[in-house]
Amino acid sequence: MNKYFYLYIFIIFFTSCQESNEEINFLVIEEDILPTELNGERVFEKEYAITYLNKIDSLFIINTQHEPLIKVYNEERILLSQFGSYGQGPNEYMNLPLVRDGHFDSKSIKFLVYDDPQRRLSYLDLFNSEDSLQVVINKEIILPPELSGTMELFHIDDDNLFGVYSDNFYQLLDSKRGSFIFSIKSLEYKLYPLINLYMDPYDVNAAANINTRMSAISPDREKVVSALVYYPLIEIISTTTNKRMQFLLEEYPPSQTFDLESFSEGNINTYTQFIYSTHEYIYILYIGSKIIPDTDFNSFIKVIDWSGNYVDSYRIPDRYNLSTISVDEKNQRIYGLSYINDEIYQFNLP
């Protein structure tokens, strides 16, 4: 049996909706599991210029820089549908669209596609039609100007969305990074704090980048996990009560205030590269070191449950240079996308 232990430590952070310091006790997750090395094989060989990979239930969604921008495959890696082009019309996007979220209802599969420049969220319905999928725009939502800095959006229920915003540039809210619940019916929103890191001396670009996050929502839509990329911290947030837990992934984390020169020169660690969640587990693509340009890097996949207990750990050799992951628990596989290699890999779990 694996053994786990926890250590409470005291840290002072600024939170995104407060001007004064808040005292928070963080739970440090100490790993007592030797990682198992995984080796993968390339899949989806015909795809190139890949910007994103997601697995939603039994479907693979691949985003590319070239049109069609979005492709949908089944578990046998058979192409079912492809759609999306550049533009400002229906099913067109000014920026590269990312399908970060999707869910099933009684009639269809629904994907959420957000076009940042237009603040437009599209709900796309995918209907089965023999050996293909028909794509229909179910509805479109325009977020208010105050949420121009929206970075991520997740479906909670028919009326509510959970989002993560960055207000460093727009400065219409609090000039920081936080989360919000948005009502589709009333078009009203409520802000909630997230832990923010700080830059000294202050620089708006660096302040925005140092607070880069990766988030994922649980399949039951009741919890969101959000991880800082440049700090070993994850937050688990209830979408119904806003109750939250903070976990540190390192016993001795760095200062929460960063030096501008060191950050500009890339002399800081990357911690959480990406995050993926299932009903029971959170899969953290973890680096824990500096990423040097044009140099291969090792990564780890740390698996914890929603209570913060370590479950498993895997080491990914440096030749794969993973950027994102998706998990197929039914078939015990992890899929990884490498931006550097422009390839997708399949790793079979032991």
Its domain, for residue 178, covers: 1-30+164-316
Tell me if 144 is assigned to some domain. Answer: no
Tell me if 96 is assigned to some domain. Answer: no
- Nearest alpha-carbon partner for 120 in 133, 107, 137, 136: 137
Q: Cα–Cα distances in Å, from 176 out to 14, 117, 209, 313?
A: 10, 19, 11, 33
pTM beyond 0.85: the answer is yes
- The runs of H, that is alpha helices, within 130-170 are none
pLDDT in tens, 222-252: 999 999 999 999 999 999 998 999 999 998 8
Identify the pLDDT of residue 25. 55
**Minimum mean pLDDT range among 135-139, 188-192, 204-208, 266-270:** 135-139
The H or E element spanning position 42 is strand 40-43
Of the pLDDT bands very low, low, confident and very high (cuts 50, 70, 90), residue 16 is very low
Phi/psi at 229 (5° precision):
-75, -40
Please give the average per-residue pLDDT across 256-284, as a whole number. 95
Tell me if 117 is assigned to some domain. Answer: no
pLDDT in tens, 178-211: 999 999 999 999 999 999 999 999 999 999 999 9
Please give the average per-residue pLDDT across 72-83, as a whole number. 91
Q: Cα–Cα distances in Å, from 273 out to 165, 214, 287, 289, 321?
A: 19, 8, 7, 11, 11
Please give the average per-residue pLDDT across 318-340, as a whole number. 96
Structure tokens at 117: 């420049």
Tell me if 252 is assigned to some domain. Answer: yes
Tell me if 251 is assigned to some domain. Answer: yes
Identify the pLDDT of residue 7. 44
User: How many domains does the structure of the chain reveal?
Assistant: 1
DSSP-derived letter for residue 91 is: T
CA separation for the pair 149, 291 (Å, rounded): 27
Please give the average per-residue pLDDT across 270-280, as a whole number. 96
Tell me if 190 is assigned to some domain. Answer: yes
Tell me if 322 is assigned to some domain. Answer: no
Contacts by residues 110-115 (CB-CB < 8 Å, ≥ 24 positions apart):
110/138, 110/155, 111/56, 111/61, 112/153, 112/154, 112/155, 113/70, 113/84, 114/150, 114/153
Of the pLDDT bands very low, low, confident and very high (cuts 50, 70, 90), residue 128 is low
Tell me if 339 is assigned to some domain. Answer: no
pLDDT in tens, 299-322: 999 999 999 999 999 999 999 999
